[in-house]
């Protein structure tokens, strides 16, 4: 008679522990693998977590009884090593292939030739810098999906009124009336619009007037100063081409500035 190993003892302990669990799920009496039949009959009901569980269908089986093709030994090894089986909660209208859940490590025990579903590439985190749907300039809010957090939306709507009103009053006073105001870029944000539409209107205002506010000045300069300097340089070169006299004056000034001043000894 062969001696028992530590693995035999552990297997016996697991079997004894399983025997203590109460059978509470009916309908699995015809499963011919005793270990699997017992675990299905005594398992708990949980919410399906796709990151942690596979359904029978996702494992490539179309019928519950096809699980028996993997044999008693494999299922014993799976359950003895901490593997679990569950029934999806609130799923009585679904087939058993979609209701039974296994831990994802079940693949290690029941074989490698399982046609598992293709991994879906996760969507880039859109609530971070450089997110898919852009940001609210100045405030540095980033959209999650196509929406802002409610608190961010409320802040943007309330604070934008003060900024836009300031520019409207300045232009009205300096240009001689409210009818002379830049109505194209100075629209108060409409709470009835979607978050994307509100952000589009605000970003347009920021692009045109963001430099007028101390709290936005640095952010505006980082975004536009380089392109504005490039544009100004192009405008100067264009003026020189159209006005030879201006080019001549610039050339004389440059020659004077580059001329070395002689050292005069006293």
Indicate if 68 and 169 belong to the same structural domain. no
pLDDT of residue 180: 73
The kind and range of the H/E element at 101 are strand 100-103
d(Cα 199, Cα 204) in Å, to the nearest integer? Answer: 8
Which of residues 77, 110, 143 is at a domain's end?
Answer: 110
CA-to-CA distance for 248 and 25, rounded, in angstroms?
96
26: containing domain = 7-110
Q: What angle do CA 145, 149, 155 make, to 5 degrees?
A: 135
**Strand 85-88 with 135-136, pairing:** unpaired
SS3 177: coil
Tell me the C-alpha distance between 173 and 47, whole Å.
63
Cα–Cα distance, 87 to 89 (Å, whole number): 6
Of 52, 77, 110, the residue that ends a domain is 110
Domain end point (choices 62, 93, 110): 110
Q: What is the pLDDT of residue 128?
A: 44
Q: Is the confidence at residue 226, as pLDDT, over 70?
A: no
**pLDDT tens digits, 134-191:** 688 888 888 877 788 889 889 988 888 888 888 888 888 887 777 777 766 677 888 8
CB 85 within 8 A of CB 100: yes
pLDDT digits (tens, 9 = 90+) for 51-95: 899 998 888 888 888 888 888 888 888 988 889 999 998 888 888
Give the pLDDT confidence score for residue 132 in this predicted structure: 46
**pLDDT on residue 131:** 46
CA distance 54 to 192: 43
Q: Three-state SS for 214?
A: helix
pLDDT in tens, 104-134: 999 888 865 555 555 555 545 444 444 445 6
Number of domains forming the structure of the chain? 2
């Amino acid at each position: 008679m062969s001696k028992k190993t530590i693995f035999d003892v552990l297997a016996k302990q697991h079997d004894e522990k399983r025997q203590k669990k109460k059978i509470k799920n009916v309908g699995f009496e015809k499963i011919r693998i005793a270990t699997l039949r017992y675990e299905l009959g005594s398992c708990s009901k949980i919410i399906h977590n796709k990151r942690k569980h596979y359904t029978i269908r996702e494992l490539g089986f179309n019928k519950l009884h096809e699980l028996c093709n993997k044999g008693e030994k494999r299922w014993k090894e799976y359950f003895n090593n901490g593997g679990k089986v569950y029934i999806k909660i609130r799923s009585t209208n679904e087939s058993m292939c979609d209701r039974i859940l296994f831990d994802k490590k079940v693949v290690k025990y029941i074989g490698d030739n399982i046609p598992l579903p293709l991994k879906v590439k996760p969507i880039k985190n859109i609530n971070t810098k450089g997110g898919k749907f852009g940001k609210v300039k100045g405030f540095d809010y980033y959209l999650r999906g196509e929406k802002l957090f409610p608190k961010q939306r409320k802040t943007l709507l309330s604070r934008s009124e003060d900024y836009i009103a300031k520019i409207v009053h300045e232009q009205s006073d300096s240009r001689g009336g409210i009818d002379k105001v830049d109505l194209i870029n100075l629209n108060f944000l409409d709470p009835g619009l979607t978050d994307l539409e509100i952000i589009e209107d605000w970003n347009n205002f920021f692009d045109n007037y963001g430099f007028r506010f101390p709290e936005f000045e640095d952010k505006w300069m980082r975004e536009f100063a380089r392109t504005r300097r490039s544009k100004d340089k192009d405008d100067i070169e264009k003026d020189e081409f159209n006005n030879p006299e201006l080019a001549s004056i610039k050339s004389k000034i440059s020659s004077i500035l580059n001329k070395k001043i002689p050292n005069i000894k006293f």
